[in-house]
Amino acid sequence: MKTVINDILDNFKLQAGKFVLNAEEIQLPEEVEQWVNAARAHVESRKLQFCYKLIGQLPQQVLMDGVRVQQVLSNLVSNAVKFTEAGRVSLTVEAFAGSSRLLKVMVEDSGIGVAKEHQGQLFQTFMQADATIS
């Protein structure tokens, strides 16, 4: 519940133009290990299969807001777990060759998916495509 309230408060700050990112030098391999461990624990607590894949070579240090990245990943993994009764949740981290600034992080699941008619609502604030599922 606390996480939901914090997400709502952050959204209000964002809409008011008062949201501040706190970028700092992060040891990326250690940070990614924390992401993987947190995701694995959440996924496996629901008796789902967890898959992790690293593509490319991670830079040692990056400038980012680790708290916000963890917040986004936590929400993505939570949604993946929430809508997957059986199967798997995957976390893929891709470091782009020749760039120390680009990182692609994907969360995929084998859950029910989003109906085509609801896909346009995906990035609306606090929107759930099917209100019958909670």
Q: Which residues contact 107 (CB under 8 A, 6 or more apart)?
A: 39, 73, 76, 77, 80, 89, 90, 91
Q: Which residues contact 17 (CB under 8 A, 6 or more apart)?
A: none
Please name the residue ranges forming H helices in 1-134.
2-15, 28-45, 66-82
pTM to 2 decimal places? 0.79
- What is the pLDDT, as a whole number, of residue 17? 75
Residue with tokens 């461990």: 37
Within 10 angstroms of residue 72's Cβ, the number of other Cβ atoms is 13
pLDDT digits (tens, 9 = 90+) for 46-70: 999 999 999 998 889 888 889 889 9
- What is the pLDDT, as a whole number, of residue 105? 93
Average pLDDT for the chain:
84
- What is the pLDDT, as a whole number, of residue 10? 61
Name the residue ranges covered by the structural domains of the chain.
19-121
- What is the pLDDT, as a whole number, of residue 101? 76
- What is the pLDDT, as a whole number, of residue 12? 55
Res 91 pLDDT > 90: yes
Q: Which residues contact 49 (CB under 8 A, 6 or more apart)?
A: 43, 87, 88, 89
- Mean pLDDT comparison of 21-25, 35-39, 110-114, highest-scoring range: 35-39
How many Å apart are CA 125 and CA 110, to the nearest integer? 24
- What is the pLDDT, as a whole number, of residue 102? 82
Q: What is the CATH number of domain 19-121?
A: 3.30.565.10
Res 115 pLDDT > 90: no
